[in-house]
Structure 1
Amino acid sequence: LMMSLRRQGALGVNPVQVETGDLDEAIDVEEEEEVTAENPCLNHHCKKGKVCEVDEENTPMCVCQDPTTCSSAVGEFEHVCATDNTTYDSSCHFFAYKCSLEGTKKGHKLHLDYIGPCKFIEACMDAELNEFPLRMRDWLKNVLVTLYERDEENNLLTEKQKLRVRKIYENEKRLQAGEHSLDLLAHDFDKNYNMYIFPVHWQFGQLDQHPVDGFLSHTELAPLRAPLIP
């Protein structure tokens, strides 16, 4: 009996014992629920450029962030360049400014262009603008031919696309085999016009995905522009 009393004294008068770890966990959950109730913004997600605030009824809502609340940039590597050719201190400053233009045509067209300060890009000369479509077509043609040459096992192109590119590939080899007059090249272009413009149609189809509507948005064009940014 004395041994039994001593054991009860060690454990406590109440024979039902609660482990300290379980009690602490229960307290943590209660405290977390209390904090969430006091601050509904803890579990309310806002997109870039917006922060969470509560209204008079303590309901969370997203509002545009004040750019002055963004942290100052540590260095130029934090600067970003937008499509308005303006350098912003950081992506935080940019998205906060873009949010302030929400619902406007300017805001709809404004996008983050690339990381780093905006670079000076000289205006294109008329001759360069005239050459651009041909240079773009040749670039896309070279991309397609490269994919065709590497497409033994990777299935980078569909069977139908392979047939179209094979004609381009064989024609390219034929033209490289010797010298040809401008008249002959012009005749070849007219004769095989659909073959020459296929790379442009192919690239358009690759980009026109979200949604497939026959138009290219700024977002859809971004992968094509990225390699061209200086």
Structure 2
Amino acid sequence: MKGWTLALLLLAALALTSATSKKLTKKAYSDSDKKHVAEMQRKLDQLIELEAELESEIAAAENDDENAADNEVVEEEEESSDEENEMLDAPEYIPDETEIYADPCAEMYCGAGRICVVTDEGEGECRCVNNCDVEEDPRRRVCSNHNETWMSDCELYRQRCLCEEEDASCLNLKYKHVHIDYFGECQAVPECEEDELEDFPRRLSEWLFNVMRDMADRQTLSDHYVRLEREAEEHPEKQWPYAVVWKWCQLDSHPKDRAVSRHELFPVRAPLYTLEHCIGHFLDSCDGNNDHSITIREWAKCTKLSEDQIDQLEDLCEDITE
């Protein structure tokens, strides 16, 4: 840029000098004037030579810049090509076995009172919880089916696990089947009268269908059960059996084996116990053979469904495996 600026200045000076020279030539009649004009002409010739030199230098500089830019592009292309060749020539990377690690506990379900640990062989294994956090908040207390208050659900389930494993830390073998009856410290619960127990299936079914309807409206039910709920809305006689089977299928969770364990009954028993003091007696009556699990047929009978309804129930569940 400096070269071009100087060149423009020189051209301007040249034009001015040329114009002045022409004016002076016309007026130069004396010898002194002729000498002055000759001196101006000489300077004019020098400016023309200087202009030519500047133009030559500017052209050379531009040529050098273009060559340098071309060289940079070529060098970048060569470096890129070298890197690509190095990548192609490099041997395929095969990670070492120690670098490939998948958590063996990631897909493992252990249940309450147990935790998955990785063994020395690198396999996941469910073991009883070593210890539970000390709970000072009385709201964390739970009452068991033995009418005993435990400091937390963790303590209760840990003890059940230890007894199931026949560990030396098991306090009493009766805890192999201990479960939570309700939240909070144990309290005096009224006795369930016979007529109350007789009417309990109706109250339970009505409550379950109201919950099912609410969940369908809030879109928290699966599409399968939403269809059942909508069908029951149009056919009220189906509300009772559909609500009953929906809850049983929902309780059959880990594993889905067409049987609901006493532990799996916890989501129904615990929150209702202090409100519906017959819930414990009712659920106990559902386990006809006292094997600590309730099949769909046992559940249907204790909720007073007809034999025709019972035969259709299993087909209403989704995602159940043998």
Q: What is the TM-score with the length of structure 2 in the denominator? A: 0.36
Larger radius of gyration: 2
Q: What is the TM-score with the length of structure 1 in the denominator? A: 0.48
